[in-house]
Structure 1
């Protein structure tokens, strides 16, 4: 069986870096990825995909990525289910999808001058 996802898209917001209770570093960002479809004429829509990175890669992504940056992501799809209880007392099962990145490749030029300076110094 294979669970592999390859995406190229732009960040919709700046990445968020956190540290878990166990001391693991995690970085989350959202990627807008275009897809084509045909409805008489060929058009494009965007899918918005949550990306999670861990460890040193999380730190690097947080340091060098920003909203609008073009990146390539190679990873695995994770589907999570959880239950929420509404005010009326009924329970609903919610589903979320995310890609856990094995590799993130920075594509294109950085979007701001400070990031350009950091990239040049590394």
Structure 2
């Protein structure tokens, strides 16, 4: 079984590219804190490369930004290639199958939505305690 689940913060904005066939691919790195401190008592962080394809790549490029927290579910992949000097380079990365956008939401332009805008990736209880405008026609009962 090859299953990876990570929660971390993006180290930079996702990079969106397209294959020659027009398939979207987004790459980004997440910083994931280790649960225990090392022998010196310091917390350590792993920097894990993520690859997302097709519609998921477009969504990641639109909604994820540097510093934003995300949960990534996917599979570990290893591959190799020869670099410009002819030396074989090995790469280990996670191919994302599902990405949950955590923390505060941002629009594609990097701005936070106004308080009255629906933010599908942010805190669902952000407007807690404020009146909600619902008509009787909206209720299922």
Q: TM-score, normalised by structure 2?
A: 0.72
Q: What is the aligned-residue RMSD (CA, Å)? A: 2.4
Q: Which residue is equivalent to 1:5?
A: 4
1:72 aligns with 2:71: yes
1:64–1:115 contact (8 Å) kept in structure 2 = no
- 1:78-110 residue CA offsets vs partner (Å, 9 max, x unmatched): 111223464xxxx53321111000000011113
Structure 1: gaps spanning 5 or more residues: none
Higher relative contact order (CA 8 A, sep 6+): 1
Equivalent position SS for 1:117: coil
Of Structure 1 and Structure 2, the greater strand share is in 1
Q: TM-score, normalised by structure 1?
A: 0.82
Equivalent position SS for 1:120: coil
1:68–1:111 contact (8 Å) kept in structure 2 = no
Q: Which residue is equivalent to 1:100?
A: 95
Deviates more, 1:108-117 or 1:20-29: 108-117
Q: State how 1:1-122 maps to structure 2 within 5 Å.
A: 2-35=1-34, 36-39=36-39, 41=41, 43-84=42-83, 86=85, 92-110=87-105, 114-117=110-113, 120=118
2:106–2:113 contact (8 Å) kept in structure 1 = no
The structural deviation recorded for 1:40 is 5.0
Aligned residues: 116
- 1:42-92 residue CA offsets vs partner (Å, 9 max, x unmatched): x31111111111111111111111000000000001111223464xxxx53
Deviates more, 1:6-15 or 1:102-111: 102-111
1:69–1:111 contact (8 Å) kept in structure 2 = no
